[in-house]
Amino acid sequence: MAPEQLLNAFATLIVLIDPPGVAAIFLAVTAGFSAAQRRSVAIRASLIAGIILIVFSIAGAGLLRVFGITLDAFRIAGGIMLFWIAFEMVFEKRQPRREKQVEVAVHEDHVRDISVFPLAIPLIAGPGSISAIVLLSGTFNEVHERAALSGIIIACIGITLLSLLAAERLNAVIANSTRSLITRLLGLILAALAVQFVADGIKSLAA
């Protein structure tokens, strides 16, 4: 297992989760909460999201087989979806969409435990990150490779948790212009990774 494979997996997942973006929404959703309440919500949301992603990293390939979907076909479909997310990031459309989703969810469904929904799902463990994990699990076949993928998930969730716990400080330090620049750069990286997923899928299907 090459180091660049691990780096690509980490980069893909951390870009999709977008800890600074999640932290900004976390502040809005937990407005009026005490520091202890915010800490509890952050830990619970991160733990639930981590479990969901690890489950998909283990069972993702099996689910594809159940539905008769080849990994190469899923690579192409997943790559296209990830490219669309990258497009939204580059043109600053993703964050407003996520904020609107959270606002509607909290208002319409009267969610009591926001750590489960909408924080854990779909902000941290959303369609993009789950699809990426299923895609990545197809290239991490051995037991030690699956363990490495789980380690990557835990590391990304850990970074996200730290971002949530330090959300107020991050919001004060990172200006909107800086956050916008970071989001666009990460979007470009994700676009390149998405194209690679599609290219690998097409190459395998054509072989």
Question: Which pLDDT score, from 0 to 100, does residue 108 have?
Answer: 44
Average pLDDT estimate for 38-62: 92
Kindly tell me if the per-residue pLDDT of 172 is higher than 80: no
| Rounded CA separation 93/84 (Å) | 11
Give me the number of domains the chain comprises.
1
Average pLDDT estimate for 141-151: 90
For 166, phi then psi, to 5°, come to: -105, 25
Question: Which pLDDT score, from 0 to 100, does residue 129 have?
Answer: 92
What is the chain's alpha carbon radius of gyration, rounded to the nearest angstrom? Answer: 17
Average pLDDT estimate for 12-17: 92
DSSP string across the chain: --HHHHHHHHHHHHHHH-HHHHHHHHHHHTTT--HHHHHHHHHHHHHHHHHHHHHHHHHHHHHHHHTT--HHHHHHHHHHHHHHHHHHHHTT-HHHHHHHHHHHHHHHH--S-TIIIIIIIIIIS-HHHHHHHHHHHTT--SHHHHHHHHHHHHHHHHHHHHHHHTHHHHHHHS-HHHHHHHHHHHHHHHHHHHHHHHHHHHHHHH-
Kindly tell me if the per-residue pLDDT of 48 is higher than 90: yes
The parent domain of residue 9 ranges over: 3-206
Average pLDDT estimate for 153-178: 86
Question: Which pLDDT score, from 0 to 100, does residue 94 have?
Answer: 62
Kindly tell me if the per-residue pLDDT of 111 is higher than 50: no
Region of poorest pLDDT, from 31-40, 151-160, 180-189:
180-189
Tokens of residue 188, six digits: 């470009």
Kindly tell me if the per-residue pLDDT of 136 is higher than 80: yes
pLDDT tens across 92-103, in order?
A: 776 576 666 556
Model confidence pTM above 0.85: no
For 142, phi then psi, to 5°, come to: -75, 160
